[in-house]
């Protein structure tokens, strides 16, 4: 961390876990280190025929399908130097951090027990288990509801008890739009705010001139 008084404050990217029903914040997860890169892809949802049909003017069916991919590092090396200040690191390594992130992709033990109880009692139709809403936060201009689409962990170093002490995560996130969440939900309103912010940012780019393009105009 820089000691210069005028250095900008370093903010962390992370995830906010929200109760899907009540919109209550359940947990805030900050990444230990910000990823050096963030891969984004956008696929337009357009109306029209098959690829072999004549091309029609673009007509949108809904928001573009947007995905994020990033790498994140977790490292307990510094914490292990001061075990009295970080007892969990000495006892478990980075397993607590990994367990917290892994909880994003599976139901809780109590949910599984509840489903088993319903099945044992003869319930014919059991509703799928609802996961909390996940918000991806990459600075104040990118706060967007997402669904974890893929998640892999490479554990790279271990202590004497085989607790992982360093790992690299690969995280794939799919943005959930109003098509997925609807307009009347907390997630839907957050997506609309995300989209509106994009539109505001786009207006800050100065329009080019015909001369820039090497033409005098459009006949």
Q: List all residues 6 or more positions away from 15 whose beta carbon is below 8 Å from its beta carbon.
A: 28, 29, 104, 134, 135, 136, 137
The helix or strand, by DSSP H or E, that contains position 198, with its residue range, turns out to be: helix 186-202
- Average pLDDT for residues 55-62, to the nearest whole number? 86
Question: Which range scores top for mean pLDDT: 1-5, 75-79, 89-93, 132-136?
Answer: 132-136
What's the mean pLDDT in 12-37? Answer: 92
* 111 backbone dihedrals φ, ψ, rounded to 5°: -65, -45
Residue 164: what pLDDT?
Answer: 94
- Domain ranges across the chain: 14-44+62-108+129-201
Q: What is the DSSP string of 97-123?
A: HHHHHHGGGS--HHHHHHHHHHHHTT-
Radius of gyration of the chain from Cα atoms? Answer: 23
- Position 51 scores a pLDDT of 60
- Residue 14's pLDDT band, with cuts at 50, 70 and 90, is very high
Return the pLDDT at 46.
87
What pLDDT digit, counting tens, does each position of 129-184 carry? 888 999 999 999 999 999 999 999 999 999 999 999 999 999 999 999 999 999 98
pLDDT of 3:
55
pTM: 0.85
Residue 215: per-residue pLDDT: 93
Please give the Cα distance from 202 to 196 (Å, whole number): 10
| Percentage of the chain modeled with pLDDT above 90 | 62
- pLDDT at residue 21, rounded to an integer: 82
């Amino acid at each position: 961390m820089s000691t210069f008084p005028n250095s900008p404050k370093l903010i962390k990217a992370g995830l906010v876990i929200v109760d899907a029903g009540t919109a209550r914040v359940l947990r805030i997860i900050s990444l230990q280190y910000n990823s050096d890169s963030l891969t984004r892809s956008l696929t337009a949802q357009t109306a029209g025929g098959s690829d072999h049909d004549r091309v029609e003017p673009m007509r949108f069916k809904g928001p573009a399908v947007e995905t994020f991919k990033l790498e994140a590092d977790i490292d307990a090396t510094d914490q292990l130097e001061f075990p009295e200040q970080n007892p969990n690191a000495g006892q478990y390594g980075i397993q607590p951090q990994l367990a917290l992130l892994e909880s994003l992709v599976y139901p809780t033990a109590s949910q599984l027990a509840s489903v088993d109880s319903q099945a044992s009692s003869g319930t014919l139709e059991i509703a799928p288990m609802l996961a909390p809403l996940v918000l991806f936060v990459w600075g104040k201009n990118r706060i967007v509801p997402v669904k974890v689409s893929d998640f892999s962990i490479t554990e790279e170093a271990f202590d004497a008890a085989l607790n992982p002490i360093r790992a690299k995560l690969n995280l794939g996130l799919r943005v959930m739009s109003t098509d997925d969440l609807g307009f009347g939900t907390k997630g839907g309103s957050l997506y609309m705010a995300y989209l509106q912010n994009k539109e505001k940012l786009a207006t800050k780019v100065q329009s080019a001139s015909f001369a820039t393009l090497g033409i005098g105009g459009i006949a």
